[in-house]
Structures are given as C-alpha cells and as structure tokens.
C-alpha cells in the first residue's frame, strides 16, 4: 500500500439526507413532444418502438387494398375497378379500421395537445385524418359529394405518419437507465458480522449499526464508518478522483466504493435512501425532470400549420358560401383540410434525425436525445470534467529524478521489480513505465506490503523500498528537493530507497490525453468558452488548466456540488454542455443544457447524458457541434420544403384563382404532396456526405 502525497483535501464523504419519493413520468402516448428529452424519458421506450413498428407494418398491409380500391385513386391512375357490391365496401370498411386502429395514437395525442392547449403535430395529423375519414364516409354513403372520396389519402397519411413516428423513436431509443446503473454499483452480497460468524446477506437487508466485512477488491455495501483496519479506497465512481485515498479506523466510506488492497470492517451508518449513492440518484432524477423544456421544431411548424389550415378552410367555406356556392364551399373547405396533410412534415425531422444519428455513430458519437443534438449548436460553454475526460483517469509516471549518482532507468527497474506483485494503481504505473523505457527486468523476492508505508523487496541483492512520507519517516530519510516543485504541481510523489538510503523520487500524475489540447484549441477557434471542473485540489486543477489553455476552472468540487456549478454557469446566461465520465458527473450531465458522456466512462454517466462519445476523444465535442449545425440546417430546409407545399397548394385548393378559371384538382395536389415528400427525403440524404470523425474536424 502506498501512502500518497495527497493533493486534495481529504474531507470525508457524509451521507446525504434521505431523498423524498419522486414520481415517475407518464408516457402520455407520445403526445408530449415538447419535453426536453423527447422520448428518452419514457419508462419503456423500446416497447413503444416495437408497438409502432408492428402497427406500421399492419397498417401498410391494410392500406394496399384501401388505396387500390379507392374510386378517386383509380380515376387518378386511370384504371377501372371491378364491378360488384363488395368492391365498393373494401375501402370504406378497411379505411374505418385504419382510422380507429392506426390513427388512434394520433387521436389520443391530439386529445393531450388540446388539454395542454399546445396544438402540434398530433393535432394536425388528427385533423387531417378525421376530416379525410368523415368526408370519405359521407361520400361513400351518398351524403357528400363524390369528389370527397379520400380513403386513399387517409390510408397514405396514416402509413406515412406511423413510419415517421417509428423512425423517430427508433433513432432516439434509450437502451440504458441511469437509475438502474447507479443501483448496479452496489455489491450483490454483504458480509455482515453476527457474533463470531460472518453471514452473507443482501445489501437491502442491512440495518444501521450492522458490522460488515469489506474484503480487498470488494465494494462497500452501504455508507459507514471504518472500525477496524485500513485500506486504500477507490472512490473514483463517487468523487471522480483518479488516485485512491487511504482510509483507516474512524473515517467514513461510501456505498459503491472499493477497498483496493486490504480488508476493513465497517459499521453501517446509512442504508437505502439515506446513502450518498441514493442522493446522487435523486439528483439525477431531479435534474432530468427540472431541466428547461424546449419545443421541437416540427411541433412548432405543425402548430402554425394547424391554425393556417383551419383558418384557410373557414375562410374558404365563408367566401364560397357568400358567393352562393355552399356545396362548393363544403367541398373546397374539406379539400383544403385534407390537402394540408403533413406528409412531408411528418418525415422532415425523423429522417434528418435518423441519418444524422447514423453519421454520428460512424464518427464515434452516439446521439440518444434529439434535443441534445438540436441544442448543441447554440452551446457557448463547454464544461469538461477533468479526471477520465481531459485526462486518462489513471496515474502515469511523469518523471524520475535519481540521486547519489544512480542511473534513473536502473532505479526505475528496481522500483518496478519491488512493485510487480502489488495490485495498487501506482505500482502498475511504475511497472508500466519501466516496461516502456525498455529497462531491464529484474526479479524480486521477499515481497512485503506495509499499510500506510509502501512496499519492500529484495532486488539484485539489495533491499528496495518504494513509498511515501511514512516510509521516509520509518527509515529516517528526507525527501529529495525536487519534491517541493512537484507538490506545487499537484503530483503524487513516491521515493525509492536502497538499503535504507533514498536514491530517487518518482513523480506520478493523472496524464492528460493527447487529444485534449487540440480539443480546447478547436473550441476556442469557434468562439466557445472552455471550463474545467474537478474534485482535485487547486494545484492539480491549475496545472492542467494552464497546460491546456482552459479559460476558467472549478477545483475541489464535491459530487453533490457539480450540478450547482452547472446552474451557476447557466445563471450567467450561458448555454452549457457538460462532458463527463463518472457517476459523480451524472447530476451535472442531467442538469446541463446538453449532457455529453465519455463512452469509456460509467453506465450511469452514459445513461444521464444525451450524447455519448464512444471514442473517449474530447475532440468529438467539436464533431457534435458540427453535426448539430448541419442537421439543424437540414431540418429547417426540410420544414420549408414541407411547408412550401402547403403554402402553395392550400390557397390554390381554396380557389383563390377561381376567378380566372383555375381550381387545383385533387390529383395535382397529390402530385405536389408526393414531390414535397420526395424533396424532403432527398435533402436529408445529403447529410450522408458529412464526415464528423475527430480527425476530420474542420473549424467553422
């Protein structure tokens, strides 16, 4: 065990107050598209994807005969329907089935939008299919003009809208749960002391006051106080610290943390909802539900189009009635409402989302939340977690300084030989450094590990010791002078002694990723502010920030305070993207306007974010910004294409050119509708030319 030079203040993690129960979100049949995370907040999203996929294929099969046996469609294509009474019933019967079965999700969604007084896509679709249904039904039973036979239009609209909705949800499907991932950090079993015996029980069965044994490599089952033993604790999943922290009798430990090298006995002080882990769990849930809401672009366009179509239909009926053609007014008004069917609009956004998601995946970026992608273009502040994000998340040997005429490579080989049998992260770093330097491998015997001191072994006929201040005290030696400079940089400092004489000092630190500097430079070039947040001490944070050219940083930030720092930046009027990798980052990721998780990080961080960088390359943040700009551009273009069809066809269908003898035939409207849909699809395909791999980033 190493007694590291601690660069951060060793404040004990205290249990948080019990979180109150928080209610689960209601799905509301996909109607509420204005939620920040869109579909990603649904409890069983994958199930809805499957339902819509199944519903789409069923409706597609039913739609074929509805369209084929529609009288107006047959006239449009110029073929003759077979004679027979049952032929005329095929479209009405099957069309009715499609309206009530395939159209129900949209009708139910419209009910929600009416209740919320927020007309959107669902209400627009429902208006179109309802008018098409009742007009067609009236036409089929002889109550309305035969020109209002829209069964084929009804079937086509339902199928296209179901397709768009399926594509939309599939591209947004969230496969992991932040809350489940947090719970997974707890061990499956806890070893509780009962008298003279040790029993294995579920952590959920623990009570305050129980004594548990935590063995080397095992996780602490609940918050507690060490009453026996000492261990180097890996608290990275909670604190974000890359280096382990020495904990001994009388100090607190947190549920989910790992005793890396020694067994300890812990008295449980908090269980269930009172643990620190549960507190983070609550903060994730609160941040997800309290985040600002943004309307989807397509929904806003649909809301405008709804009022446009409704007003246009009313004006059409009124004008035609005033000039004495009430029957024509009814036909024209209904035609306007049906011709406003948002075929292209329903595909405009889903197609862009689906293609941009696919391009993102090829560039090492996973988009889980379309609103995160949409919002990224407006982000002006990038908040990076340090450990595991800008840095590699594990210690590396930075420098070796030898004294007494010793060769530093030889000394490093001695230290590596002594450390070879240790599982400590610092030991692994030293062994790796010796291997990388091509130092000759030496063999050690009589390996010993002393808690709070370090390790010792016989190597090459000499007693080799590697450790921190306690080891120096035990052999009555002083540290080398270089240690003062390293300490100012926030480094971990170990010394090597041969036969009781200090011969070298080893500097270790969490190494900065090679790509981090370029990432910061690129973000600065496009005018983004770069901020770093870390649980490390001021010295560590200052060193990293200075090396990378970061604008500002927050040091010594505890897990429960990271989300507050995001709020602080947001209170300055900044739009914040948070980039992190640990459990401790999850509340901040959820609180940020856009949460970006490093893919090599924990499942919790990944589940709390809207964007995941699978490559762990911070340069990919620029890729996300580029993709956001390009996809938003395509969304706007597609919406103009989709709306353009309506802006042209609706007035013509209403009869604005009737005084000059032109009224838009339904067949021409159908052609315009198809062309609009085709243009939207082709325009979205242009996104496939975009390469957002970090190596191909171009500053824009």
Query: What are the residue numbers of the active site?
Result: 385
> Other C-beta atoms within 10 Å of 62: how many?
19
Query: Using only C-alpha atoms, what is the Rg of the chain?
Result: 33
Tokens of 145: 């003009």
DSSP code string of 89-108: HHHHHHHHHIIIIITHHHHH
Tokens of 116: 């919320």
Task: Burial-class residue 421 by CB neighbours within 10 Å (0-12, 13-18, 19+).
Answer: middle
Q: How far is CA 683 from CA 204, 631, 643, 671, in A?
A: 54, 11, 14, 18
Task: Burial-class residue 143 by CB neighbours within 10 Å (0-12, 13-18, 19+).
Answer: exposed
Sheet holding 252-253, edge to edge: 197-201, 190-194, 211-214, 264-270, 223-228, 252-253
- What share of residues in the chain are helix, strand, coil (percent, to 5)? 50, 15, 30
CA 99 to chain centre: 36
Tokens of 359: 């391009």
How far is it, in rounded angstroms, from Cα 316 to Cα 641? 24
Q: What are phi and psi of 270, to 5 degrees?
A: -155, 140
How far is it, in rounded angstroms, from Cα 525 to Cα 616? 21
Give the contacts of 695 (CB within 8 A, at least 6 positions apart).
none
Tokens of 416: 């590596």
| 365 DSSP assignment | E
Residue holding tokens 């369209």?
A: 67
Q: What are phi and psi of 324, to 5 degrees?
A: 95, 10
Hey, which residues does 228 pair with through a beta bridge?
265
Helices and strands (H, E) in the chain, number of each type: 24, 22
How far is it, in rounded angstroms, from Cα 263 to Cα 249? 12
Q: How far is CA 160 from CA 119, 157, 207, 631, in A?
A: 20, 5, 56, 21
How far is it, in rounded angstroms, from Cα 551 to Cα 528? 10
How far is it, in rounded angstroms, from Cα 487 to Cα 495? 13
Give the contacts of 237 (CB within 8 A, at least 6 positions apart).
185, 256, 257, 582, 583, 584, 602
Nearest to 301 by CA among 645, 631, 42: 645
């Amino acid at each position: 065990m190493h007694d590291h030079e601690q660069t951060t203040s060793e404040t004990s993690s205290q249990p948080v107050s019990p979180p109150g129960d928080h209610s689960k979100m209601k799905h509301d049949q996909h109607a509420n598209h204005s939620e920040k995370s869109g579909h990603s907040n649904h409890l069983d999203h994958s199930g809805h994807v499957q339902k819509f996929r199944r519903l789409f294929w069923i409706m597609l099969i039913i739609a074929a005969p509805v369209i084929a046996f529609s009288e107006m469609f047959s006239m449009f294509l110029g073929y003759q329907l077979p004679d027979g009474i049952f032929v005329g019933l095929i479209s009405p019967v099957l069309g009715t089935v499609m309206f009530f079965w395939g159209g129900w999700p949209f009708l139910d969604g419209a009910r929600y939008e009416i209740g919320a007084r927020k007309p959107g896509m669902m209400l627009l679709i429902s208006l179109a299919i309802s008018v098409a249904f009742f007009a067609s039904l009236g036409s089929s039973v002889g109550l309305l003009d035969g020109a209002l036979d829209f069964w084929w239009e009804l079937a086509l609209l339902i199928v296209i809208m179901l397709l768009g909705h399926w594509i939309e949800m599939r591209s947004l499907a969230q496969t992991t749960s932040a809350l489940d991932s947090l719970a997974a950090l707890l061990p499956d079993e806890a070893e509780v002391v009962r008298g003279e015996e040790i029993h294995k029980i579920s952590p959920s069965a623990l009570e305050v006051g129980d004594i548990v044994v935590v063995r080397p490599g095992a996780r602490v089952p609940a918050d507690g106080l060490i009453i026996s033993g000492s261990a180097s604790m890996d608290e990275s999943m909670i604190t974000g610290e890359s280096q382990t922290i020495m904990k001994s009798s009388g100090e607190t430990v947190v549920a989910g943390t790992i005793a890396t090298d020694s067994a300890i006995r812990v008295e449980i002080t908090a269980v269930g909802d009172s643990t620190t882990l549960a507190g983070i769990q609550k903060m994730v849930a609160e941040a997800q539900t309290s985040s600002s809401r943004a309307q989807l672009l397509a929904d806003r366009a649909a809301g405008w189009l709804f009022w446009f179509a409704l007003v246009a239909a009313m004006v059409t009926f009124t004008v035609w009635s005033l000039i004495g053609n009430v029957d024509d007014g009814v036909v024209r008004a209904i035609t306007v409402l049906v011709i406003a069917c948002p075929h292209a609009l329903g595909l405009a956004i889903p197609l862009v989302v689906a293609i941009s998601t696919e391009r993102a995946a090829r560039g090492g970026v996973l988009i889980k939340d379309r609103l995160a992608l949409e919002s990224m273009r407006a982000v002006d502040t990038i908040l990076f977690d340090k450990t595991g994000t800008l840095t590699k998340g594990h210690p590396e040997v930075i420098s070796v300084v030898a004294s007494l005429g010793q060769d530093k490579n030889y000394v490093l080989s001695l230290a590596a030989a002594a450390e070879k049998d240790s599982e400590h992260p610092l030991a692994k770093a030293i062994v790796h450094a010796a291997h990388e330097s091509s130092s000759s491998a030496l063999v050690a015997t009589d390996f010993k590990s002393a808690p709070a001191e370090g390790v010792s072994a016989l190597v090459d006929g000499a007693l080799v010791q590697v450790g921190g201040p306690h080891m120096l005290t035990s052999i009555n030696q002083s540290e080398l002078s270089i240690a003062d400079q390293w300490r100012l940089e926030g480094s971990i400092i170990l010394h090597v002694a041969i036969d009781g004489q200090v011969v070298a000092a080893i500097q270790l630190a969490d190494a900065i990723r090679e790509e981090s500097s370029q990432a910061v430079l690129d973000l600065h070039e496009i005018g983004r502010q770069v901020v770093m947040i870390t649980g490390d001490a001021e010295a560590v944070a200052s060193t990293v920030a200075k090396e990378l050219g970061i604008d500002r940083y927050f040091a010594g930030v505890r897990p429960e305070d990271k989300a507050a720092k995001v709020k602080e930046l947001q209170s300055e009027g900044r739009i914040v993207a948070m980039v992190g990798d640990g459990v401790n980052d999850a509340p901040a990721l959820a609180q940020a306007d856009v949460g970006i998780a490093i893919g090599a990080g924990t499942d919790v961080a990944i589940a709390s974010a809207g964007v995941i960088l699978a490559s762990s390359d911070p340069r990919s943040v620029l890729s996300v910004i580029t993709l956001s700009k390009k996809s938003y551009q395509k969304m706007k273009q597609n919406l103009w294409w989709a709306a353009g069809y309506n802006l042209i066809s609706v007035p013509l269908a209403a009869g604005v050119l009737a005084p000059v003898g032109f009224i838009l035939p339904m067949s021409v409207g159908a052609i315009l509708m198809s062309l609009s849909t085709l243009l939207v699809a082709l325009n979205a395909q242009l996104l496939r030319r975009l390469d957002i791999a970090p190596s191909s980033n171009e500053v824009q």
